[in-house]
Amino acid sequence: MNRRLSKLEARKKALVTSSEAILDAADKEDREVSAEEKTTLDANTVDLATTAAAIDREVSLSGYSTQIEVGGFDVDDPLGHIGNVKSAFEDDPKKGFKSPREFLTSVIGNADRPSAEARDERLKFLATAGSDEQGTYADPYGGFLVPVGFAPELMQMTPEEDPIGGRVTKIPMTTPRVEVLARVDKSHSTSVSGGLTVCRRAETQTQAASRMSMEKIALTAHSLFGLAYATEEVLTDSPVSFAAILEAGFRDQFTSHLIDERLNGTGVGEFEGIMISPALVSITKETGQDADSIVYENLIKMRSRCWRYGTAVWLANHDTLPSLMSLVMPIGTGGVPLWQVNSREGEPDTILGRPVILTEYCETLGDKGDIMLVNFSEYLEGTLESLQSAESIHVRFVNHERTFKFWLRNGGRCWWRSALTPKNSTNTLSPFVTLNERA
């Protein structure tokens, strides 16, 4: 037996041993197999089928085997003749099975194998060793008559919902470039209205004039595009609409891409993301703070720098959850957890009174942007063309393939051009606050 075949046989034996151990444990404890054990048994069954098929393929490719193994029989047969094996098999009252359990396990494990060639050799011989009945254990004697079932549902990993799209400020676009007027409010040291001032005056005193500063915020729409090809055969023969599968997949991909751009976009040919906004406030780590950690002082300082905290939300990577849930604000000899679990269905947990949303689009724990505090109402997003789709038979006509394309045109950016200096502090405020790297 060659080395590859030996490894395959060893793997097959290990899988059978694993399954038998689970069944023996359930029998010993006089119980049904648990859900976890059933999952393992099902996985072993699929792996056994794959391994058995690989063994058959290896034997076929080698052209001959120095030893043929069927059940408990080892017979030298360099030319591939199995007469001796079959004879020994017929003389064995147990047909190569050590116990009824082994026989039942083999039957169960071979039920879903795609062809008779991939099945347990002992079950193949059963159809010719004195059997006279029709059955599904061998295709020529009835197996071909049993159809294979097909479930029309498409299994897929559902992507996370968009936590941002419904919170941004929408700007209608009728042209590829739209300019939005904004009042310049960068400092409240003398005015909160872009430069206008008021003052008390005596009856005859002259009042100094003031004026307001304005600026333009430009939104430019860029195309976001997706393309796929499909053969006419798969479109015609698939019991599930393949075009619908493509459309659903691209919708998920467009949503994912836009979430990422709102946070991390470069602003060149795509959205300007929050992480490169000139108004972004980054909180530095505490003195002596451990790498890849979050301490309660970080969140308190983020809270203190957030403009209009009452409408802001926390965004954090899933990696930060263990740290966030363990944070406690010391009060006397005790403390108060910063993370508040919400027991109401559909309501998010909160940190310092505001919702916290875990998302894979934030950076991993310890990197800048792993946790953010954002007021998305200050982010502008304009749509020139919503998601569109089209298909054509002409692009790859000679290949008998159809082309599917999906596209939209939009633009997005933070309209704040700098953080805000409050009237009585040098610590700026911003609707976009994050935590710096802790390396």
Instruction: State mean pLDDT over 248-266.
Output: 94
For residue 324, pLDDT beyond 90: yes
For residue 412, pLDDT beyond 60: yes
Which position has the higher pLDDT, 385 or 41? Answer: 385
Q: pLDDT band at residue 73, thresholds of 50, 70 and 90? A: very low
Query: Of 36-45, 226-235, 362-371, 427-436, where does mean pLDDT reach its minimum?
Result: 36-45
- φ, ψ for residue 202, nearest 5 deg: -75, 170
Q: What domains appear along the chain, each with residue ranges and CATH number?
A: 3-145 (no CATH), 169-435 (3.30.2400.10)
Q: Please count the other Cβ atoms lying within 10 Å of the Cβ belonging to residue 138.
A: 19
Place of tokens 């045109």: 409
pLDDT in tens, 186-208: 999 999 999 999 998 888 888 88
CA dist list (Å): 179 to 33, 130, 217, 219, 221:
66, 87, 5, 6, 12
**pLDDT given at position 72:** 43
Q: Please count the other Cβ atoms lying within 10 Å of the Cβ belonging to residue 111.
A: 12
Q: pLDDT band at residue 160, thresholds of 50, 70 and 90? A: confident
For residue 67, pLDDT beyond 50: no
Locate all alpha helices (DSSP H) within 64-170, ordered by sequence.
83-91, 100-110, 121-126
Q: Is 139 exposed, middle or buried (0-12, 13-18, 19+ CB in 10 A)?
A: middle
**pLDDT given at position 4:** 73
Q: Are 404 and 249 in contact (CB under 8 A)?
A: no
Q: Where are the beta strands (DSSP E) in 269-308?
A: 281-283
Mean residue pLDDT across the chain: 83
Whole-number Å distance between alpha carbons of 155 and 58: 32
**pLDDT given at position 203:** 85
For residue 46, pLDDT beyond 90: no
Place of tokens 């633009």: 411
**pLDDT given at position 81:** 44
For residue 394, pLDDT beyond 80: yes
For residue 82, pLDDT beyond 70: no
Q: Are 90 and 129 in contact (CB under 8 A)?
A: yes
Instruction: State mean pLDDT over 353-360.
Output: 95
pLDDT in tens, 327-337: 998 888 888 89
pLDDT in tens, 118-148: 566 666 555 554 456 666 656 666 766 677 6
Whole-number Å distance between alpha carbons of 258 and 55: 48
Rg (CA), the chain: 34
Whole-number Å distance between alpha carbons of 263 and 274: 5
Instruction: State mean pLDDT over 158-173.
Output: 88
Q: pLDDT band at residue 226, thresholds of 50, 70 and 90? A: very high
pTM of the model: 0.66
Q: pLDDT band at residue 79, thresholds of 50, 70 and 90? A: very low
**pLDDT given at position 209:** 92
* Residue-by-residue DSSP string for 228-239: EEEEHHHHHH-S
- Torsion angle (degrees, nearest 10) of CA 257, 258, 263, 267: 100
pLDDT in tens, 169-188: 999 999 999 999 999 989 99
Nearest of 411, 8, 41, 1 to residue 221 by alpha carbon = 411
- Torsion angle (degrees, nearest 10) of CA 277, 281, 286, 289: -30
Percent of the chain with pLDDT over 70: 77
